[in-house]
């Protein structure tokens, strides 16, 4: 069998197909379901997954990007040398490419292992069971495979499960999501991710303090902006691909959110564009990889950069990761603090609220290096139209 792509509206009934028949849908634009267990073994990559040659990953070894390592416990100790070192390293990284790692972060290793085990359990489910959590058009949360979405070309070779999480200690939004969408038996998994998201929120607020100090912003400014946030957690699974030279796990993009905290399993796949050259960031169980997104680039008035990155796949083994995306409080205005605006550095981006930017990336624009610039033009045009 080459591959199986199932269109819920147009595929032949199961009784009309013979065992071993290929089912191919050409120029497919309707939402489809794909079964990763079949996709793993196909020798011919469906055309929707094939990327242009100039955008594909090279088969040659990609050089390593040695990102700065920030010792969170040392920073929190208040030791002046440790604090100064963290501020210096973060500032340098965020001016160059926006990526760094954190160690001694306070997140229990057993919780991280549990989160990975729960992720693996979910993605190992039959496709019809995963479909209980399917992401509906226009929604942010739910299960998504490459064919469930807005695009019908240059599709990523992956499946994901996304859900919202709350910074409120009393919230059970994650546990309730798993119970509501997947059933009572998933309540324990929901509790694991509830705890994991709380730890990610705590860690992200500490990282925001480091970022604030590195920019010379008054203490607590960013902490206040992100207090009471409803952020996003995403589980990623990249199945093996027999032709990894033709496709990508995730295409080149910049994250629209403020901060991403990623934990990779022990398979390489994350690549970052630095000086127009792709560099690899190897996984380390003891580290979280952190990168700033477009929203924080706006908060820093363009001083810090969100950076183009992608995920590649391989033919030998699957790869997976846990990604936490910190988002501002939905009611707060995203604008740089006064310390970062001056006659020499005027405002680069208009004021906005996170839900408006999220809507733009979900409905109007496929994220890339120009997302924030395009969004700013969109906002400015809307304001001119409103006032004109």
Annotated catalytic residue, options 319, 345, 347, 348: 319
Residue 310 among the catalytic residues: no
Coil vs helix vs strand at 259 = strand
Q: Compute the half-sphere exposure of residue 285: CA atoms within 13 Å on the CB side of its CA.
A: 9
Q: How far apart, in Å, do the first and last CA atoms of the chain sit?
A: 60
Contacts of 123 (CB under 8 A, 6+ apart): 36, 130, 159, 161, 235, 237, 320
- Is there a contact between 281 and 67 (Cβ–Cβ < 8 Å)? yes
Q: How far is CA 279 from CA 134, 187, 307, 362, 363, in A?
A: 33, 39, 12, 28, 30
Instruction: At 41, list the tokens.
Output: 């073994």
Q: Which residues make beta-bridge pairs with 270?
A: 311
Nearest to 234 by CA among 171, 288, 160: 160
Q: How far is CA 35 from CA 5, 39, 104, 163, 321, in A?
A: 8, 6, 38, 21, 19
Alpha-carbon span 350 to 193, nearest angstrom = 35
Active centre residues (catalytic): 319
């Amino acid at each position: 069998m080459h591959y199986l792509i199932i269109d819920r509206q147009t595929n032949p009934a199961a009784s009309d197909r013979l065992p071993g028949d290929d089912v191919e849908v050409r120029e497919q634009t309707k939402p489809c379901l794909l079964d990763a267990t079949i996709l793993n073994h196909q020798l011919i990559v469906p055309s929707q997954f094939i990327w242009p040659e100039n955008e594909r990953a090279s088969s040659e070894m990609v050089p390593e990007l040695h990102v700065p390592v920030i010792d969170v416990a040392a920073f929190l100790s208040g030791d002046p040398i440790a604090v100064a070192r963290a501020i210096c390293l973060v500032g340098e990284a965020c001016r160059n490419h926006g990526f760094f790692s954190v160690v001694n972060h306070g997140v229990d290793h057993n919780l991280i292992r549990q989160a990975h085990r729960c992720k693996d359990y979910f993605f190992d489910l039959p496709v019809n069971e995963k479909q209980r959590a399917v992401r509906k058009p226009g929604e942010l949360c739910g299960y998504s495979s490459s064919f469930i979405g807005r695009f019908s070309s240059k599709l990523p070779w992956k499946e994901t499960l996304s859900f919202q999480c709350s910074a409120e200690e009393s919230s059970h939004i994650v546990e309730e999501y798993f119970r509501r969408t997947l059933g009572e038996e998933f309540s324990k998994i929901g509790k694991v991710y509830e705890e994991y998201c709380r730890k990610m929120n705590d860690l992200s607020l500490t990282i925001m303090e480091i970022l604030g100090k590195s920019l010379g912003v008054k203490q607590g400014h960013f902490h206040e902006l992100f207090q009471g946030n409803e952020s996003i957690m995403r589980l990623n699974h990249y199945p093996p691909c027999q032709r990894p030279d033709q496709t990508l796990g995730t295409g080149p993009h910049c994250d629209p959110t403020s901060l991403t905290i990623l934990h990779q399993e022990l398979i390489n796949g994350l690549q970052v564009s630095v000086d127009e050259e792709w560099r690899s960031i190897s996984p380390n169980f003891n580290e979280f990889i952190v990168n700033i997104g477009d929203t924080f680039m706006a908060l820093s008035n363009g001083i810090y950069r969100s950076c183009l990155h992608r995920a590649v796949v391989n033919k030998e083994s699957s790869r997976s990761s846990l990604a936490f995306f910190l988002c501002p409080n939905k009611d707060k205005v995203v604008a740089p603090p006064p310390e970062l605006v001056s006659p020499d550095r005027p405002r680069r981006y208009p004021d906005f609220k996170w839900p408006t930017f999220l809507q733009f990336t979900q409905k109007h624009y496929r994220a890339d290096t120009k997302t924030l610039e395009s969004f700013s033009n969109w906002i400015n045009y809307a304001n001119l139209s409103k006032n004109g």
